[in-house]
């Protein structure tokens, strides 16, 4: 890239002027945005699987309607994000194919199973809670289409977090057995939720450049700390215990000291060895293959219309 153009681009970012699809941008900026937005879109789509798993078994009609609406919202989030990525010159089909053959990732968290109804509460509370913590600052991200998609997504995501907390409240105030289920869900999902923010700042490959470009607004560790600080009082209110013996308020830093997740497990999940990686990719591949006739039909229809127009 031309150094003069690069300096101009950086000055624009520093002045908080949004980058729009037709503007000049460094190839690295375009590439990392496609990676991040694409990965984010895939996460929304794959994220429907662990929750969709409980739609038919929700305990009441009301809970079923709420969960159905939430899972549909996630599909919508995926679509806004694919549309944002397409403005960078990649097609949705290409992105999907890269997910299906393992060239692109989705969030590590969705490789963990939802074993019972309490997990649906914990996913809403912790996973959507972590997602919002990461996504609220992304509303100010430098790429216009991504930042605008984030505004709407965050509104819906905060409803998701509250519905999860509401399930946890019901369980935590329920029978002894229900309270135990809520605690067990927290025990299993706590560390995988902390992993959602990505590796420690020392291990994060993209943070420095992407923060300079304002693609990322905070480091991984900053957001993880904020998440812990916000979530501990919520757990206390529920009467549940965060599974971390080292969790302790640190007056000097004005936040909690906490234990890191097992990073070996995290990198192992990224390599495809989490409890549900195979299932998730099989489900997405099956959906893609099963939908081939619809895509073919639409293409044939478009072709017929085009031919009729030019005739
Ligand atoms: N799951 C899977 N992969 C991850 C995760 C994670 N939780 N965290 C980091 N990684 C990967 C990165 O993609 C990168 O690998 P790559 O270069 O092969 O793509 C590698 O680990 C190193 O990490 P970083 O350099 O820190 O990566 P990055 O700067 O992209 O930060 C983060 C990761 C914070 C997740 C960032 O991409 C981001 O903010 N993304 C948008 C939010 C998002 O994707 N949310 C999805 C979950 S929320 C939901 O969908 C409900």
Tens of pLDDT along 12-70?
999 999 999 999 999 999 999 999 999 999 999 999 999 999 999 999 999 999 999 99
Q: Residue with structure tokens 């293959």? A: 289
- For residue 310, pLDDT over 90 is answered with no
What the block records as the tokens of 233 is 């009082």
Q: Is 206 in the pocket of ligand 1 (CB under 6 A)?
A: yes
List the beta bridge partners of residue 248.
257
Torsion region of 258: left, alpha or beta (phi above 0 gives left; psi -120 to 50 gives alpha): beta
> What is the Cβ-side half-sphere exposure of residue 177, based on CA atoms within 13 angstroms?
2
Q: Strand, coil or helix: what is 249?
A: strand
Index of the ligand 1 atom closest to the CA of residue 196: 7
Residue among 34, 49, 198, 281 whose CB has most ligand 1 atoms within 8 A, to mutate: 198
List the beta bridge partners of residue 249.
256
As a whole number, the mean pLDDT across the chain is: 97
Ligand 1 center to residue 74 CA distance, Å? Answer: 18
> What is the Cβ-side half-sphere exposure of residue 296, based on CA atoms within 13 angstroms?
6
Where residue 236 falls among pLDDT bands split at 50, 70, 90? very high
Ligand 1 center to residue 198 CA distance, Å? Answer: 5
Longest dimension (CA), the chain: 77
* Whole-structure pTM value: 0.96
Q: Is 199 in the pocket of ligand 1 (CB under 6 A)?
A: yes
Ligand 1 center to residue 192 CA distance, Å? Answer: 13
Residue 306, C-beta contacts closer than 8 angstroms, at least 6 positions apart = none
List the beta bridge partners of residue 255.
250
């Amino acid at each position: 890239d031309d150094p003069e153009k690069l300096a101009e681009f950086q000055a624009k970012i520093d002045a908080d002027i949004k980058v729009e699809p037709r503007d000049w941008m460094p190839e690295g900026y375009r590439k990392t945005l496609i990676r991040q937005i694409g990965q984010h879109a895939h996460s929304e789509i794959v994220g429907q699987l662990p929750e969709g798993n409980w739609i038919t078994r929700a305990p009441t009609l009301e809970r079923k309607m709420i969960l159905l609406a939430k899972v549909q919202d996630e599909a919508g989030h995926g679509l806004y994000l694919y549309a944002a990525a397409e403005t960078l010159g990649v097609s949705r089909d290409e992105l999907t194919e890269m997910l299906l053959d393992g060239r692109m990732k989705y969030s590590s968290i969705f490789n963990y199973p939802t074993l019972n109804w309490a997990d649906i509460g914990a996913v809403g509370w912790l996973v959507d809670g972590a997602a919002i913590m990461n996504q609220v600052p992304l509303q100010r991200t430098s790429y216009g289409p991504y930042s605008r998609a984030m505004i709407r997504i965050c509104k819906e995501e905060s409803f998701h977090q509250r519905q999860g907390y509401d399930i946890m409240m019901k369980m935590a105030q329920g029978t002894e057995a229900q309270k135990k289920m809520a605690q067990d869900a927290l025990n299993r999902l706590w560390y995988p939720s902390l992993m959602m923010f990505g590796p420690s700042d020392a291990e994060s490959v993209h943070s420095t450049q992407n923060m300079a470009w304002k693609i990322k607004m905070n480091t991984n560790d900053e957001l993880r700390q904020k998440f812990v600080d916000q979530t501990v009082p919520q757990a206390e209110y529920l009467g549940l215990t965060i599974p971390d013996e080292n969790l302790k308020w640190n007056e000097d830093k004005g936040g909690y000291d906490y234990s890191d997740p097992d990073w070996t497990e995290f990198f192992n999940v990224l390599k495809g060895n989490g409890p549900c990686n195979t299932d998730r990719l099989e489900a997405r591949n099956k959906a893609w293959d099963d939908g081939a006739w619809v895509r073919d039909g639409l293409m044939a229809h478009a072709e017929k219309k085009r031919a009729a127009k030019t005739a």
